Amino acid sequence: MTNAITRIDLHTHSKKSDGTLSPSELIDAAISANLSAFALTDHDTTRGIEEALTYAQDKPIRVIPGIELSTSFGSTDIHILGLFIDHTSSLLQQHLESIIDARNERNVKMCTCLQAYNIHVTLPDLMDEFTDSVITRAHFARYLFEHGYTKSIKEAFERYIGNHGPCYVSREHISPAIGIKIIKEAGGLPILAHPVLYSMSKQRLESLVSELVTFGLIGIETTYSTYNTGDTLQMKKLAKKYGLLESGGSDFHGALKPTIHLGSGRGKLFVPSTFLDALEARLPQ
């Protein structure tokens, strides 16, 4: 007799990066969404994992320790998910400290630029307001909106900090190959996150996947909140061609992305627990 297939979500964010729920609140929300398991994959940080694991101990849900690493492939930002990581790995934490240092250097430059537009914000201001979070552009946008500098978070990106805004500052990224290496060193499984979002041609995306497989890529997100049917089929074909396991998730951020719901994305997302079974079977013994 086989176990019933249940709904899971392998791509979520808490307020430790740019989500709006605490790790504990995220667990309660996941239970309310009838998930049997979910992965906490905050951007470039594992600060929420211990809270999530502790809070979930007596709850009817499984928490997968994860992370989402920011990398770059040429001029394109590429995100690599790490599932089943050892979040206590000292080597992992050393890598994350250097990544966060690079973020903070960028954040100081963005603050300086915004000050030239009579927006009074400093990195300490952001860190005080968003305690124990890795400061991202989402936090800048929330700060500008909540302090009355813009009428919406969307406006903050459009006027100031979006990719083409006057105060956008790029930061030094690691390569996807290094991201994969970091995840594998921490005992995790590296997954290419939301490849459709990179707006690459089919040829360039396949070139990326082919290269990353040589560095140890294990899986690819074939199921994601914003994919249409054609996107999903394309990703499944790519996974099959390169022997990659399937993964998927909502990329839930809470109120920051109000149209994306935990577990169900925009309403039709269903990530089956069979994905998790196959991934777990590939863990190093």
pLDDT at 256: 87
For residue 211, pLDDT beyond 90: yes
60 class by beta-carbon count within 10 Å (0-12 exposed, 13-18 middle, 19+ buried): exposed
Residue 10 clears pLDDT 60, i.e. is over it: yes
Task: Give the CA-trace dihedral at 73, 77, 81, 87, to 10 degrees.
Answer: 100
pLDDT-based confidence at residue 1 (cuts at 50, 70, 90) = very low
Phi, psi of 20 (to 5 degrees): -120, 0
Judge whether residue 197 has pLDDT over 60: yes
pLDDT in tens, 46-80: 999 999 999 999 999 999 999 999 999 888 899 99
- Residue 159 host element (H or E): none
Angle at 105 between CA 100 and CA 109, to 5 degrees: 140
In the structure, what pLDDT confidence band is assigned to residue 173 with cuts at 50, 70 and 90?
A: confident
Confidence of residue 170 (pLDDT cuts 50, 70, 90): confident
Domains of the chain in sequence order: 7-88+174-281 (3.20.20.140), 96-161 (1.10.150)
What is the pLDDT averaged over residues 167-195? 94
pLDDT in tens, 222-277: 999 999 999 999 999 999 999 999 999 999 999 989 999 999 999 999 999 999 99
Whole-prediction pTM value? 0.91
**What's the average model confidence in pLDDT over 1-26?**
91
Strands (DSSP E) contained in 84-196 are 189-192
**Does residue 185 surpass a pLDDT of 90?**
yes
Is the model's pLDDT at 207 over the cut of 50?
Answer: yes
At 265, give phi and psi (nearest 5°): 60, -120
Q: For residue 164, give the DSSP letter.
A: T
For residues 232 and 248, what is the distance between their CA atoms, to the nearest angstrom?
10
Which amino acid is residue 178, in one-letter code?
I
* Residue 285's pLDDT band (cuts 50, 70, 90): confident
Cα(67)–Cα(248) distance, integer angstroms: 14
| 76-80: Cβ within 8 A, 24+ apart | 76/198, 76/200, 77/173, 77/198, 78/176, 78/179, 78/192, 78/193, 78/198, 78/208, 79/193, 79/194, 80/176, 80/179, 80/180, 80/183, 80/190, 80/191, 80/192, 80/193
For 73, phi and psi rounded to 5 degrees? -120, 100
Residue 11 has pLDDT above 80, yes or no: yes
- Dihedral class, residue 26 (left if φ above 0, else alpha if ψ from -120 to 50, else beta): alpha
pLDDT above 70 (res 2): no
Nearest to 105 by CA among 18, 170, 159: 170
CA atoms 267, 9, 281, 190: torsion sign: positive
Whole-number Å distance between alpha carbons of 182 and 141: 30
